């Protein structure tokens, strides 16, 4: 099977497509990957180079700087890329398009189109701003791009039931709606950890809510990995410099997780959350903000807080009681193992085969 896939270089979608593309190649598929949203970083460039070396002609990669639907210049998000995707699909002989951006569900192709809804601005605004967004040309364009893509897609996949419910509150989904949880493969930790907590995320993104870590005095060191600015957007809270590690490469981040005892997921909006999954697989106990999507993913595999005081209380308990900390780490690791890259890949491959077979039957009938 020949899968044309899009990704972006900004967040967790890159990691998602890393796992899926590799899994598909290992199962005999060919993958043509296109990244958008900006040029890949030096560390990001290494992965497709290695995969190309391993997979040869079965893997192709192109990096485009086309903006994403939620970016300021979203009036160019569709038209700059759609024609190029069509040409690749015909020239390369793609069997299906798997888009990790909403808008390309509307690309006029005769092959099946799957769109994965990782997150969206309207549900983000509901969680972060009570649903309030200033009406603008940018917002109208965003709604059109997302709406057209979702209405035209043959299948819309979501990483959680919560996201599936949420996306249909704001947009019409005409095709099949499926839930396939994200998966990750991470080398297990070796050796001991330090009694420190860590979190990762964009400080400028209100959804990550990382500024709350500056609202209380922690009983143990806390370190924050992630960008502090994006364009004109900056973090809304100032954290002490000794907490901030800046943007780390994927390997640097995993190394930090392996050195740490606890991962704090402060997000007020998190449709799935790959960083806490990675941290748990690296041996961290996961502590989550008590929101429905994180409850769905982690169930009893995490500890939950509702505000800065309850978070501080949890950190005090775990820092003072080594047995409770170890038990929490084991629960998080056991839960994280439910979300393997192999399971995710197998479920997507079954979905691909189903939609391609359906399209072939329809073509034969016609």
pLDDT tens digits, 238-267: 687 878 888 888 899 999 999 999 999 999
Instruction: Name which of 26, 7, 9, 27 is nearest 17 in CA terms.
Output: 7
Supply the DSSP symbol for 40.
P
Q: Is 162 exposed, middle or buried (0-12, 13-18, 19+ CB in 10 A)?
A: buried
Domain holding 117: CATH number? 3.40.50.2000
Q: Is the pLDDT of residue 233 over 60?
A: no
Q: Tell me whether residue 352 is in a domain.
A: yes
Please indicate, yes or no, whether residues 75 and 175 belong to a single structural domain of this protein.
yes
Position 229 scores a pLDDT of: 64
Please indicate, yes or no, whether residues 97 and 206 belong to a single structural domain of this protein.
no
Average pLDDT value for the chain: 93
Please indicate, yes or no, whether residues 176 and 320 belong to a single structural domain of this protein.
no
Q: Is the pLDDT of residue 236 over 50?
A: no
Please indicate, yes or no, whether residues 166 and 198 belong to a single structural domain of this protein.
no
Instruction: For residue 38, name the pLDDT band (cuts at 50, 70, 90).
Output: very high
Residues 6+ apart with CB under 8 A from 331: 285, 300, 301, 302
Q: Tell me whether residue 199 is in a domain.
A: yes
Identify the weakest region by mean pLDDT among 11-25, 65-79, 242-256.
Answer: 242-256
Taking residue 225's Cβ as centre, other Cβ atoms within 10 Å add up to 19
Please indicate, yes or no, whether residues 160 and 15 belong to a single structural domain of this protein.
yes
Provide the angle, in degrees to the nearest 10, between the axes of the packed helices 274-281 and 250-259: 50
Q: Tell me whether residue 179 is in a domain.
A: yes
More confident residue, 189 or 341: 341
Please indicate, yes or no, whether residues 57 and 122 belong to a single structural domain of this protein.
yes
* Segment 338-356 mean pLDDT: 97
Please indicate, yes or no, whether residues 130 and 278 belong to a single structural domain of this protein.
no
Q: Tell me whether residue 188 is in a domain.
A: no
- Residues, the chain: 366
Position 285 scores a pLDDT of: 97
Q: What are 305's strand-pairing partners? A: 289
Q: Range of 169's domain? A: 2-183+340-365
Q: Tell me whether residue 232 is in a domain.
A: yes
Please indicate, yes or no, whether residues 328 and 344 belong to a single structural domain of this protein.
no
For 211, the token pair is 């500024």
Q: Percent of the chain, pLDDT > 70?
A: 96
Please indicate, yes or no, whether residues 65 and 169 belong to a single structural domain of this protein.
yes
More confident residue, 240 or 276: 276
How far apart CA 136 and CA 142 sit, in angstroms, is 10
Q: Kindly write down the DSSP assignment for every residue of 61-94, as one continuous string.
A: EEE--PPPTTSTTGGGTTHHHHHHHHHHHHHHT-
Number of domains, the chain: 2
* Segment 216-236 mean pLDDT: 75
Please indicate, yes or no, whether residues 264 and 141 belong to a single structural domain of this protein.
no
Position 366 scores a pLDDT of: 56
Q: Tell me whether residue 11 is in a domain.
A: yes
Please indicate, yes or no, whether residues 228 and 350 belong to a single structural domain of this protein.
no
This prediction has a pTM of: 0.92
Q: Are 216 and 308 in contact (CB under 8 A)?
A: yes
Please indicate, yes or no, whether residues 88 and 218 belong to a single structural domain of this protein.
no
Q: Tell me whether residue 288 is in a domain.
A: yes
Q: Tell me whether residue 189 is in a domain.
A: no
């Amino acid at each position: 099977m020949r899968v044309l896939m899009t990704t972006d270089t900004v967040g967790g979608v890159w990691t998602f497509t890393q796992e899926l593309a590799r899994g598909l190649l290992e199962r005999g598929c060919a993958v043509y990957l296109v990244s958008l949203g900006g040029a890949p970083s030096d560390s990001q460039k290494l992965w497709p180079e290695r995969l190309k070396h391993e997979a040869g002609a079965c893997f192709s990669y192109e990096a485009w700087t086309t903006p994403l639907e939620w970016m300021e210049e979203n009036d160019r998000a569709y038209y700059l890329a759609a024609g190029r995707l069509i040409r690749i699909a015909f020239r390369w002989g793609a069997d299906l398009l798997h888009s990790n951006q909403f808008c390309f569900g509307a690309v006029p192709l005769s092959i099946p189109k799957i769109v994965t809804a990782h997150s969206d601005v309207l549900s983000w605004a509901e969680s972060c701003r009570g649903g309030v967004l200033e009406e603008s040309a940018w917002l109208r364009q965003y709604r059109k791009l997302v709406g057209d893509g979702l209405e035209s897609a043959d299948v819309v996949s979501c990483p959680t039931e919560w996201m599936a419910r949420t996306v249909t509150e704001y947009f019409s989904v005409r095709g099949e709606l499926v839930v396939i949880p994200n998966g990750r493969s991470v080398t297990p930790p070796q050796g001991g950890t330090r009694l420190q907590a860590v979190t990762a995320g964009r400080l400028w993104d209100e959804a990550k809510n990382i500024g709350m870590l500056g609202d209380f005095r922690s009983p143990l060191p806390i370190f924050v990995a992630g960008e502090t600015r994006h364009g004109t957007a900056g973090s809304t809270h100032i954290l002490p410099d000794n907490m901030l590690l800046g943007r780390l490469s994927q390997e640097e981040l995993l190394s930090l997780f392996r050195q740490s005892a606890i991962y704090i997921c402060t997000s007020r909006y998190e449709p799935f959350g790959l960083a806490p999954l990675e941290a748990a697989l690296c041996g961290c106990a996961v502590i989550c903000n008590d929101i429905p999507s994180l409850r769905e993913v982690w169930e009893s595999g995490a500890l939950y807080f509702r505000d800065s005081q309850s978070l501080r209380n949890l950190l005090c308990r775990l820092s003072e009681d080594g047995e409770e900390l170890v038990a929490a780490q084991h629960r998080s690791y056991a839960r994280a193992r439910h979300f393997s890259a192999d399971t995710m890949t197998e479920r997507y491959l079954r979905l691909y085969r189903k939609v391609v077979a359906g399209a072939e039957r329809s073509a034969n009938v016609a």
